[in-house]
Amino acid sequence: MSEWYADVIVDISHEKLDRPFQYRIPDRLKEKLETGACVTVPFGNGNKLLKGYVVGIGTVCKYDPARMKEIQGIVRGEVGVEDRMIALAGWIRRNYGSTMIQALKVVLPAKRTVKRLEHRTLQRTLGREEILSLLGESRRKKQVAKERLLQELLEQESIPYEWVTGKLGVSAQTVKSLERAGAVRVVSTEAFRNPVSLAGTREQKRNLSEAQSRIVEEVMSDFDSGHPDIYLLHGITGSGKTEVYMRLVSEMVKRGRQAIVLIPEIALTYQTLLRFFNRFGDRVSILNSNLSPGEKYDQCERARKGEIDVIIGPRSALFTPFPNVGLIIMDEEHEGSYKSEASPKYHARETAIEAARLHGASVLLGSATPSLESYYRAETGEYKLFTLKERLTGGQLPRVYTIDLRKELKEGNRSIFSRKLQELLADRLSKGEQSILFLNRRGYAGFVSCRSCGHVMKCPHCDVSLSEHSAGRTGQGILMCHYCGYQEPKPKTCPKCGSKYINGFKAGTQQIEEKLKEMFPGVRTLRMDGDTTRTKDSYERILSAFTGGEADVLIGTQMIVKGHDFPKVTLVGVLAADLSLSVGDYRAGEKTFQLLTQAVGRAGRGELPGEAVIQTYQPEHYAVVHAAAQNYESFYKEEIIFREMMGYPPAAHMLAVQIFAKNQERGQALAEALASVTRRNFQDNGRSGEQDRPGPEEQAGLQIIGPAPASIGRINDIFRFVFYVKCMKYDTLVQIKDLLEEEMQKRQLADELVQFDFNPMNTM
Ligand code: ADP
Ligand code: ZN
Ligand code: ZN
């Protein structure tokens, strides 16, 4: 029998993770030991017995065999916070692929290695008169920096220290000299014990509506009877979901349990945060990406010690080390940001469900436009479905006009604004009401469509849009499918109607702003897109300027349709609804429906009724039709048929194997080798890209598609390739991942990297 060895980490802290110690596995434990197991090992010179965790198992001895120690035993019994975290990391590693160490780094907070973050302010200790005389003196001595600081101190009694050295450009030395002169004092306070401090009043607990109460009762009675479950709450914005969340959280807190509330993006959900703070005071805390590692660690410590009951944050908040979680809520569960983009590419939804299982907690997913995955599972009975149908604050859904841009062109309107949108814009401007123009720029890159008939160039095998690649030597562009690698030359005229307008809608927000100003001289505009919101402040600034009535029209991309309420907006124009329909991605329809539904929902939130104009080249597309009607169920019914027919998630599972390489040929060769290893080991019932669509019997089995260059084939001189495996069984995909991980270990490649993406949110 060959020897087996285990890599064991003995101190579970972020910075020790990179140094596992190797131990021999004694025969009696060979069968029982698994990655993630908690073990006892002799450690150090005195062979003190310590608790450790197995992060890897293998047959290669990496240490002097004569001095190698043996694992003593497996620890069983009581599950602590730490063990649960390790178990969760093990689950993440198994289900999404990565090393155990990478997975542990996801679930464990980095210890604070930096000095406690201080917040320093400079305070004036002399009166104005004395400062004035010091000012006169430094003027005479031409001490300009000191002069600037004193000038500032005349205006205000205390100044943040970073301001002094940053904005005012005053050196620490100068500050010291003033300190010695007794003019100022540096005061330091520990920053952000709790990142949000609140002075406001406690929010009143509301009486729940009947529909809301029923939800709370059912979730709590399942929980109390020892059967916590998974629930999907489908309810339009304003239907009272957040109110339900808060009530459930307080029920859990009453029972001595803690709650984790996941939200997609702190900046977009400020209003929700405030409501939680108002309700739960300092028993709630937030985690967000602005916090330093030290501050994050503080929040985790507070959770561990029981100082808080509720944490709100993005997907990483899931790993808050609460002793006894009772409920995990995931608001806007359809959002793409719940999927990690770095390896391990875990999805917070599935991971939340596993974490809840480990804790014996309930899971509540909420959305106005649920992901196809969740709705599918609700339909198949895996989750329980709740629906909230009415807006509690009144406010009607807006009236929607769908405008066919092909018809506009045919009738001689070449402007990017349809005649209906022009008419309604003019009307709002004359009444002094606000409008939003939304440019759906997702998938702006690449796809090719006809402005005359709306025809979109699609892959004959995958039913997703082809992407344009720059012209090669021949001068003619190439269209490519990023699932299967299918290619064809870009046509010069539309293959359907023969028109030469085969380039689609290509305007950016800046052009839209210019055209708007040409059409309506004097119109006041604000623009919000990636360019105008480089900093966090600018985002807030634009929003508050618009809310404050400083502009008539807000023009922007995705970010303007999420989260924020604009009570004075009565018109929303969607400039080209189908731009996002044509991304080379099987989720294109779903994402378009979500964006359009959100965009349309921006109009008429206040007292005045709203209207929305959806401009599109594909007015008949079901994602457009159902978004215009604000009807999720009918959208779902059509979309799921497409997914089932094509074998896309959630009807099947899909694994993207992503290959990164410095050398193009070697990357390509590796991608092909890995795909063929997969084909050899798991019979390929389906067909690769060159052939026709697989028949229904073949779809039941496994299908391998590609490899193909990634949609962005090279980033920073690293070449990227990808192939896809579709299968009904998730576990088969996990086996494939394991096989390929082994294969990569055998090859010991230095310049190539492989990553796995299960049920990817985007094409790579
Ligand atoms: P959602 O989270 O679905 O957008 P909210 O919970 O924010 O919905 O509720 C929308 C509005 O209705 C809020 O202003 C909220 O205060 C109010 N509201 C919610 N539930 C009730 C209730 N039971 N009675 C009165 N007002 C309510
Ligand atoms: Zn055409
Ligand atoms: Zn294809």
Question: Between 631 and 455, whose confidence is greater?
Answer: 631
Ligand 1 atom showing the smallest separation from residue 209 Cα: 23
| DSSP labels, 457-511 | -B-TTT-SB-EEE---TTS--EEE-TTT--EEEPPSS-TTT--S-TT-----HHH
- Ligand (nearest to CA of 450): 2
The closest ligand to the CA of 237 turns out to be 1
Residues 43-66: what's their mean pLDDT? Answer: 83
Whole-number Å distance, alpha carbon 635 to ligand 2 midpoint, is 26
Q: Which atom of ligand 1 is nearest to the CA of 237?
A: 4
What pLDDT does 573 receive? 95
1-38 pLDDT per residue, tens: 578 899 888 877 777 777 788 999 999 988 888 877 88
Residue nearest to atom 26 of ligand 1 (CA): 392
Q: What is the DSSP letter of 396?
A: P
Q: What are phi and psi of 80, to 5 degrees?
A: -90, 175
pLDDT, mean over the chain:
84
Looking at residue 294, its pLDDT comes to: 75
Q: Distance from the CA of 395 to the center of ligand 1, in angstroms?
A: 12
Nearest to 482 by CA among 719, 758, 689, 229: 689
pLDDT digits (tens, 9 = 90+) for 84-95: 888 899 899 889
What is the model's pLDDT at position 10? 83
By alpha-carbon position, which residue is closest to atom 23 of ligand 1?
208
pLDDT digits (tens, 9 = 90+) for 349-399: 999 999 999 899 999 999 999 999 999 999 999 999 999 988 776 667 789
From the alpha carbon of 393, which atom of ligand 1 is closest? Answer: 12
Task: Check if the beta carbon of residue 123 is closer than 8 Å to that of residue 185.
Answer: yes
Mean pLDDT of 614-621: 92
CA separation, residue 483 to residues 357, 469, 629, 695 (Å): 35, 15, 32, 18
In tens, the pLDDT along 118-163 reads: 567 788 888 888 888 888 888 888 888 888 888 888 877 777 777 7
pLDDT at residue 404 above 70? yes
Q: What is the pLDDT of residue 328?
A: 98
**Partner residues linked to 527 by β-bridges:** 555
Which of 42-56, 195-209, 273-287, 595-609 is least confident? Answer: 195-209
Q: How many degrees, rounded to 5, is the angle at CA 582 between CA 577 and CA 584?
A: 150
Residue 694: pLDDT band (50, 70, 90) is very low
In this structure, the residue with its CA closest to atom 22 of ligand 1 is 208
The whole-number pLDDT of residue 266 equals 64
Pair of tokens at residue 656: 């993207």
Confidence label for 113 from pLDDT (cuts 50, 70 and 90): low
- pTM, two decimals, is 0.78
Phi-psi region of 413 (alpha: psi -120 to 50; beta: other; left: phi over 0): beta
Task: Tell me the CA–centroid distance for residue 253 and ligand 3, in Å.
Answer: 51
168 close to ligand 1 (CB < 6 Angstrom): no
Please give the pLDDT value at position 475.
58
Spatial contact of 17 and 105, defined as CB atoms under 8 Å apart: yes
Question: Is there an atom of ligand 1 within 6 Å of 97 CB?
Answer: no
Distance CA 385, CA 376 (A): 10
**How far is CA 613 from each of CA 118, 397, 552, rounded to the nearest angstrom?**
51, 13, 17
